[in-house]
Amino acid sequence: MRGGRLVFAALLLVSVALAFGACGARTGLLVGAQGAGGASSGWDVSLFRQRAVTRVDLLLTLDNSISMADKQALLAEAVPLLVQRLITAGSSLEPVSDVHVGVITSSLGSHGANGPKDVCTGAEDDDHAHLLGQLRGLPGTWQNQGFLAWDPRGEQRPPGDADPQVFSDKLRRQVQAAGERGCGYEATLEAWYRFLVDPAPPSSVVLEGAFSSRQGVDREILAQRAAFLRPDSLLAIVVLSDENDCSLRDEGSAWLMLRRERMFRGTAVCAKNANDPCCQSCAATPAPGCPDPSKDSACAKGPLNEPGDDDDLNLRCWDQKRRYGMSFMYPIERYVQGLQSPTLVVEGGRIVQNPLFVGAKGALPRDNSLVYLVGIVGVPWQDIADARSLSGPGLRYLTARELTANGRWDVILGDPLASPAVPPTDPFMLETSRDRTELPVSQQNPIVPSARLVAANSRDPQANVINGHEQRDMGGRDLQYACTFPLDRPRSCDQASLDAGKGCDCYQEDLMFERPLCQPPGGGASTSQQYYAKAYPGLRHLQLLEALGDSAVVASICPKVLDKASEDYGYNPAVEALNSRIADSVFRRCLREPLPLDADGRVPCEVVQVFPKPAGGCACASLGLAGVTDASLERAVREHLRVVGQCASDDPECAGSCRCRLPQLAGGELSSCQNDAGRLSLAGFCYLNAEQGEPNVGRPELVADCPRDEHRDLRLLGAVSSDRAISLLACPTDP
């Protein structure tokens, strides 16, 4: 089932994400790491952090289209927990003393469409990926830059916020300022890419003749990015959306998606296999080795879709390749590379440096293990929860690794790149306008077999625990829901709400859909009161999240717990999942697993320090270090540097960095390293272990600050400063 995805991985650098995710040792954990200098090279290589990362840059990317107000309110209520977890000390976390938080929306305008009947052409439809604090003129942002700064030590100039409640209140207002009157073509992926990654974000997208193009450079974004994003921070991106991503291209023909005109249809093979090389537009010239579209049976009906041919303007982002013979959206690999690769391929095939991985002067850039993506998207919470959550109170989301181990990606995503694509095994995750009870697919959720699809003629909005029931297919005008959840209070979809432009799914014109959202909890006919909120399958989000491996956090926009007194209320579990990943992968600096010891208290491992190459070259000896003379170790180290984004794939020798060994101490120097707490004028490293039930070495007080069950550490003496270098721990696979 994963054949198509494996090809995707090889071609699109997903293997990079999987490789560093497999090693799991970004903070010292040693498990198999073939993709990161593992068994194939004879070495397991992992990143060892000498100190906690204390800077966090958090970017919230919010869908601000219609129907999002209720979800934004839930996120706003989770904000205090997010702040609390970041800025207060816990059992395994040091408090974060330097946090930037920014908010942007998914509205990026019409992509060049400018006709009187075109959509997303208004000012409120294009937030340009600018920070909301500045765009909406919100007070209290740091230096009026549009983002918030948590700075209890007063180290920034001028100082940022130091009162947790004030900081939380400001952030809550920023989330609520997103609103729900933005463009309905939600560019949730492209928005953060434009703000954080795009080397030359366009100042406008202009239609010239039949094609649109990017014009100018948005200097405002570049200035906001420079102020917000620090080169040594942990970066976490949170995406909140109840619809699939619609990141349309900013050039070419993508503007046609926003035009109130019929689109060209796809060739006949598209209906059977949209990934077939001969699936193309009826307006296209024949692809090599493919039949002439002018003689195609589907195109013979007429090159343009007819009314009722699944070409409703509301669904233009859905299933484009099957319906139109081509996709007008940016490919997912654009975002994989944006979050993982130190270089980007831009227009004309030029290779440029990724702005996410630009280091401060004299220091290495952040490694890609410090970049996280959180998706709070359309997927049933049951599909991504652990077993205890399914049978008892509370909610804990599975980690990316657990999702893989439990086969959940097949459940929620399938394999969209196989030929033909393999759909998700959860029927609630099938994207279609048709009543899915009428389709030849499994009718039950594979995780909760009692949750079965229920036909649209049901009058029970709770007929199943996932989405209530299907809605009527009114000529391909809306998609079926992945999940639903009760609103805090019913919403009146009356004329006053309509005149005010408020999001509501139960206006008089909507009642023909027989939506479960509009039926009272006790059952009955649809009314103009909305009782439930909904979400559609977020398949493009999930495709990216799977590709990112351990750098992904998957959460449902349909919450399980709606009791405000509960710790798991609303989106709190998503916040906890993010903080758990941060604590798990960054702030712990101690070793989770023991290293093998010899009789002298030494380990069969090497510590390699990597730092920017100075003008005079890599003089390891002058720093009290030694060169890496073992060819297999050197290869393994270079491979790991490529995996964590410190070395570009087109620079196989990692020419911009020095790699030097920190020698392991022996004899009296080893004893001093393992037992003397004071400052030592030694150059080398030693291993410490005070964990109960394991061979202990060294003074227990030296690892007293390690988390429980992890009283193991490496002590690095006379090493290159962690401000300038990263340290790699390399152990032979066959010691």
Lowest average pLDDT, out of 91-105, 194-208, 491-505, goes to 91-105
Question: CA–CA separation, 208 vs 412, rounded Å?
Answer: 40
CATH classification of 55-249+332-411+540-585, choosing from 3.40.640.10, 3.40.50.410, 2.60.120.560, 1.20.1630.10? 3.40.50.410
Question: CA–CA separation, 416 vs 411, rounded Å?
Answer: 12
Q: Per residue in 391-436, pLDDT tens?
A: 999 999 999 999 999 999 999 999 999 999 999 999 999 999 999 9
Q: What residue segments make up the domains of the chain, in order of their start?
A: 25-51+589-732, 55-249+332-411+540-585, 250-328, 426-535
User: Which whole number is the average pLDDT over 12-32?
Assistant: 28
pLDDT at position 12, please?
31
Find the radius of gyration of the CA atoms of the chain. Answer: 27
Lowest average pLDDT, out of 111-115, 322-326, 501-505, goes to 501-505
- Full-model pTM: 0.89
Q: Per residue in 602-658, pLDDT tens?
A: 999 999 999 988 888 999 999 889 999 999 999 999 999 988 888 877 788 888 899
Q: What is the DSSP letter of 583?
A: I
Expressed in percent and rounded to 5, the helix, strand and coil fractions of the chain are: 30, 20, 50
Q: Per residue in 94-136, pLDDT tens?
A: 667 899 999 999 999 999 999 999 999 999 999 999 999 999 9
Q: Does the pLDDT value for residue 11 go beyond 50?
A: no
- Output the six-digit token pair for 544: 């990216």
Q: Does the pLDDT value for residue 180 go beyond 70?
A: yes
Q: Does the pLDDT value for residue 61 go beyond 80?
A: yes
* Residues linked to residue 281 through DSSP beta bridges, in sequence order: 266
pLDDT at position 247, please?
98
Size (the chain), residues: 735
Lowest average pLDDT, out of 24-33, 148-157, 405-414, 513-522, goes to 24-33
Residue 284's CB is within 10 A of a number of other CB atoms, namely: 16
Residues of the chain with pLDDT > 70: what percent? 91
Lowest average pLDDT, out of 75-89, 227-241, 487-501, goes to 75-89
CB distance 608 to 637 below 8 Å: yes
User: Which whole number is the average pLDDT over 329-354?
Assistant: 93
Q: Does the pLDDT value for residue 93 go beyond 90?
A: no
| Nearest CA among 371, 366, 332, 367 for reference residue 552 | 371
* Strand duo 626-627 + 657-662: pairing: antiparallel
DSSP SS3 for 492? strand
CB distance 674 to 667 below 8 Å: no
Q: Does the pLDDT value for residue 485 go beyond 80?
A: yes
Measure the CA dihedral 705/709/710/712, to 10°. 90
Q: Give the long-range contacts of residues 491-500, CB within 8 A, separation 24 or more.
A: 491/529, 491/530, 492/528, 492/529, 492/530, 493/518, 493/528, 493/529, 493/530, 494/528
Q: How far apart are the first and last CA of the chain?
A: 37
Q: How many CA atoms lie within 13 A of 198 on its CB side?
A: 26
Q: How many CA atoms lie within 13 A of 652 on its CB side?
A: 1
pLDDT at position 471, please?
98
Close Cβ partners of 488 (under 8 Å, ≥ 6 residues apart):
70, 73, 562
Q: How confident is the model at residue 6 (pLDDT cuts 50, 70, 90)?
A: very low
pLDDT at position 142, please?
97
- Output the six-digit token pair for 210: 């039949």
Question: CA–CA separation, 365 vs 360, rounded Å?
Answer: 7
pLDDT at position 595, please?
96
pLDDT at position 698, please?
97
Q: Does the pLDDT value for residue 669 go beyond 70?
A: yes
Q: How confident is the model at residue 727 (pLDDT cuts 50, 70, 90)?
A: very high
CB distance 519 to 461 below 8 Å: yes
Q: Per residue in 441-467, pLDDT tens?
A: 999 999 999 999 999 999 999 999 999
Phi, psi of 504 (to 5 degrees): -160, 140
Q: Does the pLDDT value for residue 306 go beyond 70?
A: yes
Q: What is the average pLDDT value for the chain, to the nearest integer? A: 89
* Distance, C-alpha 345 to centroid of its chain: 21
Identity of residue 598:
D
pLDDT at position 34, please?
29
User: Which whole number is the average pLDDT over 189-211?
Assistant: 97
Residue 140's CB is within 10 A of a number of other CB atoms, namely: 15
Close Cβ partners of 420 (under 8 Å, ≥ 6 residues apart):
272, 273, 274, 275, 276
Identity of residue 399:
T
User: Which whole number is the average pLDDT over 467-475?
Assistant: 96
- Output the six-digit token pair for 250: 């900013």
User: Which whole number is the average pLDDT over 204-212?
Assistant: 96
Q: How confident is the model at residue 590 (pLDDT cuts 50, 70, 90)?
A: confident
Q: What is the DSSP letter of 585?
A: I
| Nearest CA among 265, 343, 271, 258 for reference residue 301 | 265
CB distance 690 to 565 below 8 Å: no
170 compared with 20, residue with greater pLDDT: 170
| Nearest CA among 178, 271, 170, 253 for reference residue 212 | 253
Phi, psi of 621 (to 5 degrees): -60, -35
Residues of the chain with pLDDT > 90: what percent? 75
Q: Is the sign of the CA dihedral 285, 289, 292, 297 positive or negative?
A: negative
pLDDT at position 719, please?
86
Q: How confident is the model at residue 40 (pLDDT cuts 50, 70, 90)?
A: low
